[in-house]
Amino acid sequence: MKSPVITKVLVVSDKTKEMMAQYFNEFKREKTPPYAILQADDGDTVVTLYESGKAVFQGRDADLAADFWIETEKINSGSAKVTSSDEKKENKETERKIPLRINSIGSDEVGTGDYFGPIVVTAAYVEKENIDFLLELGVKDSKKMTDNDIKRVVPEVIKKIPYNTYILNNTQYNKLYDSDMNMNKMKAILHNKVLSHFADKNKYHYDYAVVDQFENPRSYYNHLKDASFKVYGITFLTKAEDQCLSVACASIISRYIFLREMDRISKDIGIELPKGAGDGVDAFGIEIVKKFGKDKLNEIAKLNFKNTERILK
């Protein structure tokens, strides 16, 4: 049984509308519904942007696809009006601010938006006594650091900071995605898995366990209903990497391991794999299929991405 299709509707300002039109230009479909500026594919989600400013996200990962534009609209206009087919009763985002100098466990993931390469999820444990050390190293959200900076900093970080990482390779990902599991369910299960490593409070004394919020807490825990062990008491924060050093550490460690895995795969196949999932990635996929056959994509790519359809054409 497949996961249900989710619909999220966001009303955006003219500024956000222009940004969306520019961003989705290279992903848009040839045919556009009446009164729509465009209709485009975003991973496993169809995005329709109307002249009125209404943006509709439909798909198994619609909540994930909409999150970026919700945050963008908040920046552009100060608020965001959102409705959801599965969250009408619970459409609140946690905006708790937490102190800097605390003991915390944070988790973050990378690779969910990359066609090639695995998904890497890491939980890191940061004690107050190590905060100045991390700040001096320049630790922050991995998206705000260059890959070279991450490669330089992370070996120093992991000498002091306990962490636990899980690498979901592409063969595993494709098998899971073909079953009753969308991206958010995978992420919830993997976050719970790496956080469970620090569940012994006699060994790890922490004030907060923090996860970068990708959906509401009720949905997060609903994904874990079959898990044998669940980590409770989590603080879900949007842009958590900017608020909590343990999440920032988890972010850069995940990125470091992701880059290492991408280098390993590239060396193995003799082709330097690109990051991301734009149209430019397709040429590399075509080259791989010609060289190894289409089955090779199952080992190194996320087959549910629209890139696969374009590559195999």
User: Using an 8 Å Cβ cutoff, are 249 and 243 in contact?
Assistant: no
What's the full length of the chain, in residues? 313
Q: Are 16 and 54 in contact (CB under 8 A)?
A: no
For residues 76 and 33, state if they share a domain.
yes
Same domain (yes/no): 154, 63 = no
Q: Are residues 114 and 53 in the same domain?
A: no
Interval 93-102: pLDDT, tens: 444 467 888 9
Q: Taking the complete model, does pTM exceed 0.85, yes or no?
A: no
Residue 244 is classified by DSSP as -
pLDDT of residue 283: 96
CA-closest candidate to residue 20, choices 75, 90, 57, 69: 69
Interior angle at CA 168, CA 213 and CA 278, nearest 5: 75
Strand, coil or helix: 294: coil
Task: Please report, as a single letter, which amino acid is at residue 150.
Answer: I
Same domain, 164 and 224: yes
Percent of the chain at pLDDT exceeding 70: 94
Report how far residue 306's alpha carbon sits from residue 47's, in angstroms, rounded to the nearest whole number: 13
Tell which of 54, 84, 114 closes a domain: 84
Same domain, 56 and 184: no
In Å, how far from its chain's centre is CA 171?
Answer: 18
Residues 74 and 166 in one domain: no
In a domain, 194, yes or no: yes
End-to-end CA distance of the chain: 28
Number of domains into which the chain is organized: 2
The residue range of the domain holding 28 is 6-84
The Cα 139–Cα 286 span in angstroms is: 37
pLDDT in tens for each of the 313 residues of the chain?
445 678 899 999 999 999 899 888 888 888 888 889 999 988 778 999 999 999 998 887 787 778 878 888 888 888 777 776 654 434 444 444 678 889 999 999 999 999 999 999 999 999 999 999 999 999 987 888 899 999 999 999 999 999 999 999 999 999 998 777 889 999 999 999 999 999 887 899 999 999 988 888 888 999 999 999 999 989 998 888 888 999 999 999 999 999 999 999 999 999 999 999 988 899 999 999 999 999 999 999 999 999 999 999 8
CATH number at residue 249: 3.30.420.10
CA distance 119 to 40: 24
Query: In terms of domains, do 191 and 113 share one?
Result: yes
The answer to whether residue 305 is domain-embedded is no
Same domain, 76 and 217: no
Q: Which pLDDT tens digit goes with each residue over 170-202?
A: 999 999 987 778 899 999 999 999 999 998 878
Shared domain for 156 and 47, answered yes or no, is no
Chain segment 215-250, per-residue pLDDT in tens:
888 889 999 999 999 999 899 988 888 889 999 999
CA separation for the pair 189, 177 (Å, rounded): 13
CATH code of residue 46 = 3.30.310.10
Q: Do 131 and 246 share a domain, yes or no?
A: yes
